[in-house]
Structure 1
Amino acid sequence: MKNRTLVKSLKILKYLCIYYLSAKMICFAIPKFLFMQFRILHWQSYAPLVEISKHQHMWSFFGRSYHYNLFIGLTEFLIGILIVFRRTRLIALLLSLGVCVNILVLNIEFDVDFAINHVLLDLTITTLLLFNYRKDLYKYFIQIGGKFDNSLASLESKFMTRLPYLFIVVLSVSYFIFAFGIKKKYSVNENIVGAYKIHNIKINDSIVGLGQGWQTKDPMLFVEYNNQFVLSITDTLFMGRYIQKNDSITIYMDYPNKFDIKSINGLMKNSNSIIGTTSENRTFQMIYKKVDGQNNYLNNLYK
């Protein structure tokens, strides 16, 4: 009785691991389809190469190409699908082994410390599940090199036969809706996202001294996809956030800051100025010009 209970418990644990690995691969794949995972903020992209971390080096490399993200995402999505079917599980596990080892090496070598434990868990599960195939793998790759044993395992119940299809469809559709909802939550006019050179800032018609930007020779404005608003002036970054609708924009600056401004309500005129008033009832005007894609590829990348 104890042996039967142990066998049944191990079988349940095995399927929990299979579906956990499937869910994780699918949930990491879908954000790549929507180009949500490897994003470099515009203000970070202006840091000199020697100043950025190994982590940022790797992240910017993967974020350079949507099609490369699509390739990685399709591989992960394929693993997530194939692993839940008995006939294709071995293919998925072999793919997963290669993917997990590659990600582990990248995370270690590029100091992505927060992700090492996650991929170690995936690699451990993959290795343990592959252990059941050790004799078949040895026979196929070493002994007979190319011959397959066509004997079929005992037929599964109707529920277990249909469960993989149900799991893949429900998880993929629901997580896509969830990820798309997150993306829409931070939805902005894509045309305003980017890096800008600031020509001048006036508060109550007085010109503000801007100096150089943080890590840049010119004073800069960065409007990020995640509703982050960054001023790079006087060798300092001043952070904030924005809400934009049509031509209207509301900016909330982290306080205190150089201008002693808590918020700004204004209009964006012809994509080269913001004119409005501050929460302190002062007039505010900023004139700027967007950096084109030839000088900063990020301005064209996320459209």
Structure 2
Amino acid sequence: MENKLASKVLNVIKQLAIWYLSIKMICFAIPKILFMQFRVLHYESFIPLAELSKYQHMWSFFGRSYNYNLFIGLMELLIGILIIFKRTRLIALLISLGVCLNIFILNIEFDIYFAIQHITLDLLITVILLLEYRKDLYKFFIELGGRIQSVDISEKNVLNKLKLLYILVLPVGYFIYAQSLKENYNNQLVGSYELKKFELNHTKINYSKGKYGSDPMLFLEHNNQIGLSINDSIYLGWYSITDDIFKAVFNPPANDFIRNITGTISNKSINGVFNDSLEVKIEFERLDEAKDYLNVLYTE
């Protein structure tokens, strides 16, 4: 009796692990397919190579190629779909072993600490699930070069229909959700800009180059982060755009030079109010591909 109960408990845990891995793989696959996960911040692309952290270096490397993101995303999507069926579970687990082991090493070697615990769990689940096939794998790879013994892998028709519904609903539903997030990115406006003019109350403000870039720079990021690189500093904050009304709030690095900006925005200027009291006009020019490849990477 106790053995039967333990067997049922272990089977429930096994099924939960399978579905957990399936859902996670699908939900990580969709952002890669939509080229959303490895987005590089524009101001970070102006950091000299020697000053890049390991994390920034790896992230920018992966973010440079859409086709590589598409390949990894399709592999993860394949794992998420194949793992829920008995017939294809072993294929999914073998692919998962390679993918998870690769990501595990990358996260350790490039100091991506926030993701290590997640990929460790995925890798552990994959290895534990593979243990069920250890004898067949040994026979396939070591003894015979192929599995010749047939086993019963049939499933109830109703269960298969539910699984087919699942692989339709989750990938499609999550794709629609991720696409709706992506549509909030204004990739024609997001980018790196050279600062051309900064006026307060119709008086031109003199400024020098900032922390990043060879010229004074304005950075508008896809995650609604804004960066103003002037006077040997980088002023970072957050912005929003609603019906061409631009609002930005900054966190000054060492002084109170800039706190907020509110006004109208175009692809070349911002006109409005500076620090709640002064009229401001900021003119800027978008960098071409030769100066910042990110400005065209996500717009084509």
TM over 0.5, yes or no? yes
**Pair 1:228 & 2:225 matched:** yes
Map Cα deviations across residues 145-181 of structure 1 (whole Å, 9 max, x no partner): 13522x2416432333223212212221222233223
Structure 1 segment 9-28 matched on structure 2, within 5 A: 9-28=9-28
Secondary structure of 2:136's aligned partner: helix
Aligned partner of 1:83 in structure 2 is 83
Q: How far apart are residue 211 of structure 1 and its match?
A: 1.1
**Greater mean alpha carbon deviation, residues 115-124 or residues 275-284:** 275-284
Aligned partner of 2:109 in structure 1 is 109
Give the TM-score of the pair, scaled to structure 2: 0.93
**Pair 1:215 & 2:212 matched:** yes
Map Cα deviations across residues 236-261 of structure 1 (whole Å, 9 max, x no partner): 11123333356x23222225665444
Gaps of 5+ in 2: none
Q: Which amino acid aligns with 1:36?
A: M
Could you tell me whether the CA contact under 8 Å between 2:38 and 2:59 is conserved in 1?
yes
- Looking at structure 2, the residues matched to 156 and 35 of structure 1 have their Cα atoms a distance apart, in angstroms, of 36
Secondary structure of 1:283's aligned partner: strand
Q: How far apart are residue 6 of structure 1 and its match?
A: 0.8
Secondary structure of 2:210's aligned partner: coil
Could you tell me whether the CA contact under 8 Å between 1:229 and 1:251 is conserved in 2?
no
Aligned partner of 2:176 in structure 1 is 177
Aligned partner of 2:279 in structure 1 is 283
- Looking at structure 1, the residues matched to 213 and 298 of structure 2 have their Cα atoms a distance apart, in angstroms, of 22
Give the TM-score of the pair, scaled to structure 1: 0.92
- Looking at structure 1, the residues matched to 153 and 108 of structure 2 have their Cα atoms a distance apart, in angstroms, of 43
- Looking at structure 1, the residues matched to 251 and 96 of structure 2 have their Cα atoms a distance apart, in angstroms, of 47
Q: How far apart are residue 20 of structure 1 and its match?
A: 0.7
Could you tell me whether the CA contact under 8 Å between 2:82 and 2:92 is conserved in 1?
yes
Could you tell me whether the CA contact under 8 Å between 1:83 and 1:90 is conserved in 2?
yes
Q: Which amino acid aligns with 1:128?
A: I
Q: How far apart are residue 82 of structure 1 and its match?
A: 0.7
Q: 1:50 to 1:167 in 2, by over 3 A?
A: same
Map Cα deviations across residues 210-229 of structure 1 (whole Å, 9 max, x no partner): 11111323110001112222
- Looking at structure 2, the residues matched to 140 and 261 of structure 1 have their Cα atoms a distance apart, in angstroms, of 66
- Looking at structure 1, the residues matched to 6 and 158 of structure 2 have their Cα atoms a distance apart, in angstroms, of 22
Q: How far apart are residue 188 of structure 1 and its match?
A: 4.2
Q: 1:94 to 1:154 in 2, by over 3 A?
A: closer
Could you tell me whether the CA contact under 8 Å between 2:212 and 2:234 is conserved in 1?
no
Q: 1:255 to 1:215 in 2, by over 3 A?
A: closer
Q: 1:280 to 1:124 in 2, by over 3 A?
A: closer
**Pair 1:203 & 2:200 matched:** yes
- Quote the RMSD (CA, aligned, Å): 1.8
Q: How far apart are residue 280 of structure 1 and its match?
A: 3.0
Could you tell me whether the CA contact under 8 Å between 1:22 and 1:84 is conserved in 2?
yes
**Greater mean alpha carbon deviation, residues 70-79 or residues 159-168:** 159-168
Q: Which amino acid aligns with 1:104?
A: F
- Looking at structure 2, the residues matched to 43 and 19 of structure 1 have their Cα atoms a distance apart, in angstroms, of 39
Secondary structure of 1:197's aligned partner: strand
Q: Which amino acid aligns with 1:145?
A: G
Q: How far apart are residue 116 of structure 1 and its match?
A: 1.0
Secondary structure of 2:188's aligned partner: helix
**Kindly, what percent of the aligned residue pairs are identical?**
50
Q: How far apart are residue 286 of structure 1 and its match?
A: 1.3
Aligned partner of 2:49 in structure 1 is 49
Secondary structure of 1:156's aligned partner: coil
Gaps of 5+ in 1: none
Q: Which amino acid aligns with 1:109?
A: E
Q: Which amino acid aligns with 1:74?
A: L
Q: Which amino acid aligns with 1:14?
A: K
- Looking at structure 2, the residues matched to 11 and 228 of structure 1 have their Cα atoms a distance apart, in angstroms, of 46
How many positions carry a matched residue from both structures? Answer: 297
Q: 1:39 to 1:267 in 2, by over 3 A?
A: closer
**Pair 1:69 & 2:66 matched:** no
- Looking at structure 1, the residues matched to 128 and 185 of structure 2 have their Cα atoms a distance apart, in angstroms, of 45
Map Cα deviations across residues 173-219 of structure 1 (whole Å, 9 max, x no partner): 222233223334xx143211110111220101222221111132311
Structure 1 segment 117-266 matched on structure 2, within 5 A: 117-149=117-149, 151-153=150-152, 155-184=154-183, 187-245=184-242, 248-254=244-250, 258-266=256-264
Q: Which amino acid aligns with 2:295?
A: N
Could you tell me whether the CA contact under 8 Å between 2:86 and 2:153 is conserved in 1?
no
Q: 1:94 to 1:255 in 2, by over 3 A?
A: closer
